[in-house]
């Protein structure tokens, strides 16, 4: 079978799960012998990581708003000169200019990854991309509701890695080795879910000084700290520095909880579900990440009493936590659903399927 020449475009300046997704997929495709290059903004952290990993990266400022259109002609020239088989875009910021340039260059295959169901308009998915890869069935359903033909969307779950812990979380937090630690993340502007989690845990924390909550996010958490002080549990609520990732400590948590999950946190939730017992509100892609009652628990959105009961059950039952963690690993990793090998195989299969369809059309 012929090897493919693939260009991955990612205009993000962040260091989040979509960027890790791009890097991991590029590594997996390269390992299969495909020729893989990237298109990134010059100042992006992803560009630096890819170059350190030996990838050739084309740097290009992609701007914002109507400014992205200025990049279309340079992109067209690049695509005409490189003869890629597949151009795979990753974010709303690159999908429009790269998709337009690829269409003008009469490119054989344009693919779009949709990480989040409602993140942007359906224009690029409907009119520029030949195929769309959705990271969950929820995301696919959301795109169909926006007018993207279901026949054009394929679901490929992201690869979930479980890196070894390199630092002691309890030592980092300054808590006892026998402490029970619940972990969570909060996105900027989404602090309400973390407030609900603190409210749910507060009575349990006051009963047990060895129960702690650690929260990670990329912005300040002053509101959460103030709320914890009001509930007299601030000494048991901890926050990681913006540069720290809770994924690095995931295996040391006893429970991972999300009171108001976003699609951005769903991948992190899957990583948690592969290692520890999990609790979350039943929204978005979250139900696809666990076997309810076996590897984790789901509760109604904004139901603080139900959330507290689920957390209390796990906090008080170490054996249940261990059995759920083991079941979660089997469901996420053991089944192959969220492995890099499965992600690579399915993605390549869809590339070839779409290439075949468009050569015949």
pLDDT 10s digits, 209-231? 999 999 987 565 678 889 999 99
Q: How far is CA 25 from CA 20, 170, 307, in A?
A: 8, 33, 35
Query: Alpha-carbon distance 235 to 231, whole Å?
Result: 11
pTM: 0.91
- Taking the domains of the chain in order of start, what are their residue ranges? 5-159+339-359, 169-333
Cβ atoms < 10 Å from Cβ of 129: 27
The CATH-assigned architecture of domain 169-333 is: 3-Layer(aba) Sandwich (3.40)
Q: Which CATH superfamily is domain 5-159+339-359 in?
A: Glycogen Phosphorylase B; (3.40.50.2000)
pLDDT tens digits, 122-159: 889 999 999 999 999 999 999 999 999 999 999 999 99
Common-topology check for domains 5-159+339-359 and 169-333: yes
Confidence of residue 58 (pLDDT cuts 50, 70, 90): very high
């Amino acid at each position: 079978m012929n090897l493919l020449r693939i260009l991955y475009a990612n205009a993000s300046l962040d260091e989040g799960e979509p960027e890790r997704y791009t890097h991991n997929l590029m590594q997996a495709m390269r390992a299969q012998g495909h020729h893989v290059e990237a298109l990134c903004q010059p100042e992006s952290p992803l560009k630096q990581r890819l170059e350190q990993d030996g990838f050739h990266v084309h740097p290009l400022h992609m701007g914002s708003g109507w400014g992205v259109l200025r990049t279309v002609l340079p992109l067209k020239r690049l695509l005409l000169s490189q003869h890629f088989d597949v151009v795979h875009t990753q974010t709303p910021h690159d999908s429009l200019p790269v998709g337009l340039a690829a269409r003008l260059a009469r490119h054989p295959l344009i693919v779009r990854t949709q990480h989040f169901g409602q993140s942007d308009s359906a224009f690029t998915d409907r009119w520029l991309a030949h195929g769309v890869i959705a990271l969950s069935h929820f995301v696919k359903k959301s795109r169909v509701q926006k007018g993207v033909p279901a026949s054009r969307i394929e679901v490929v779950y992201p690869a979930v890695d479980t890196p070894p812990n390199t630092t002691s979380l309890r030592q980092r937090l300054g808590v006892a080795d026998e402490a029970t630690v619940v972990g969570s993340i909060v996105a900027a502007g989404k602090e309400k879910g973390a407030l609900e989690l603190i409210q749910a845990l507060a009575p349990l924390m006051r009963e047990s000084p060895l129960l702690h909550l650690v929260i990670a996010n990329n912005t300040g958490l002053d509101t959460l700290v103030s709320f914890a002080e009001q509930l007299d549990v601030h000494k048991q609520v901890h926050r990681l520095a913006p540069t720290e990732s809770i994924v690095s400590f995931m295996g040391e948590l006893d429970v991972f909880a999300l009171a108001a999950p976003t699609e951005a946190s769903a991948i992190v939730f899957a990583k948690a579900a592969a290692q520890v017992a999990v609790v979350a509100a039943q929204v978005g892609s979250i139900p696809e990440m666990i076997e309810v009652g076996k590897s984790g628990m789901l509760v109604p959105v904004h139901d603080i009493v139900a959330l507290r009961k689920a957390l209390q059950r796990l906090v008080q039952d170490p054996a249940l936590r261990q059995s759920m963690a083991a079941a979660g690993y089997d469901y996420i990793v053991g089944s192959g659903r969220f492995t890099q090998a499965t992600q690579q195989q399915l993605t390549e299969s869809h590339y070839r399927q779409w290439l075949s369809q468009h050569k015949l059309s």
